[in-house]
Amino acid sequence: MEFTTQMDAAKKGIVTKEMEKVAKKEKMEVEELRSLVAEGKVAIPANKNHKSLDPEAIGEGLRTKINVNLGISKDCPSIDAELEKVQTAIDMKAEAIMDLSSFGKTEEFRKRLVDMSPAMIGTVPIYDAVGFYDKELKDITAQEFLDVVEKHGKDGVDFVTIHAGINGETAEVFKRNKRITNIVSRGGSLMYAWMELNGKENPFFEHYDKLLDICEKYDITLSLGDACRPGCISDATDASQVKELMVLGELTLRAWERNVQVMIEGPGHMAINEIEANMVLEKKLCHGAPFYVLGPIVTDIAPGYDHITSAIGGAIAASHGADFLCYVTPAEHLRLPNLEDMKEGIIASKIAAHAGDIAKGVKGAKNVDNEMSRRRQKLDWKGMFELAIDPEKAQRYRAESMPEHEDSCTMCGKMCSMRNMNKVMEGKDINILREDE
């Protein structure tokens, strides 16, 4: 039996090779996974032209995945530098990489990225439109926006962020409800500006069926962008954000009717006490579609440390149902991240994702923590490093300050609780002051 997309196959009862691989990774029965894909509660972004892909799934009951943002800009246009980051992100087992290139002819970088990456690849086609056509934003036509999406589909992009929810109605709600930071989504601000400059409806909303034609053709997953995500905690959960979310819920159903997979993008900056309610709201209004969050960043006063503010919010969001975390680096709000910034962002995001998985009871999530605890109890340093999220840093810290006795560390020395409890439990004497072992 033939099928057009992963969702089409799932609805027809077909188990694809991508479903088989994902089910094995997730330790899930493949029929359960297929059912979730058919319902739209799980997405498997897998463009037919992405030949190097090692598929992953995003959604209900699965491990929380992380995304790494990369790409060239006018001020930092080095393709080689970005490709070094790509390889590092792949080595660090990021499940997704988004190419946010926003300068010049980005096709070379995008194609090389797709060719080399087993991780799923995402893009924001509106970023590429200005450079692709060498036109000012106002002069780009609706058809030209759609043609850029098609080009990304041909190139093998697995998911695209499309800001279709900032339609005329949402724009009016935004105008009536003042914010401190207005529209902070880069793609969302570009689309709003295009609408205002041309006095026209959002072309991705107006021609949504044509967009779905493209997505169905290549099996591109639609990541419905949150143009009105809050850019500060004061703007969170306001009328603009909620109005757009309602529109995205309607667009989700229309996409599923065409067997196009959907993810919903979410906040943004948000106080800790609002995160749980936002996760419930998204899942309710968007019919259980996978939720993809940037952060949330839980305070606005930590430039240079926003990988931490984001990890705090990400862990809480994941514990309450967020399925996909977009990493944030220490360079957020300041500059294009360098390689070390990227590494710190990945580690922080992986910690948040894993903490969320433990809280929401993902199958097997606690196993590695329990094994780490057993190795700590045994003072098995090599074994601990093998399980660490960042073994390189853990080994370097220990090597920089070696204790007199190798079964302890320089914090506690012979007062180490693990060392002394092991001795006592074995019926041995404890020697804190004496020189003998």
Structure tokens at 96: 């997704």
**pLDDT tens-place string over residues 168-201:** 999 999 999 999 999 999 999 999 999 999 999 9
Is there a binding annotation on residue 167? no
pLDDT at 404: 86
From residue 162, alpha-carbon distances to 92, 287, 327, 364, 414 in Å are 27, 19, 19, 34, 58
Is there a binding annotation on residue 416? yes
Q: In sequence order, what E strands does 185-288 have? A: 221-224, 262-266
Q: Which of 142, 138, 145, 201 is nearest to 170 (CA)?
A: 201
d(CA 294, CA 266): 7
Is there a binding annotation on residue 232? no
- Read out DSSP for 357-417? HHHTT-TTTTHHHHHHHHHHHTT-HHHHHHH-SSHHHHHHHHHHS--SSTTS-TTTGGG-H
Is there a binding annotation on residue 187? yes
Is there a binding annotation on residue 110? no
Is there a binding annotation on residue 292? yes
Tell me the CATH architecture of domain 6-359.
Alpha-Beta Barrel (3.20)
Is there a binding annotation on residue 215? no
Is there a binding annotation on residue 228? yes
pLDDT at 76: 86
Mapped onto helix, strand or coil, the DSSP state of residue 221 is strand
Q: Where are the domains of the chain?
A: 6-359, 366-399, 401-437
Is there a binding annotation on residue 229? yes
Structure tokens at 55: 């598929």
Is there a binding annotation on residue 412? yes
What's the half-sphere exposure (Cβ side, CA atoms, 13 Å) at 293?
A: 35
Query: Side chain identity at 377, as an amino acid letter?
Result: Q
Is there a binding annotation on residue 320? no
Is there a binding annotation on residue 69? yes
Low-confidence ranges of the chain (pLDDT < 50): none
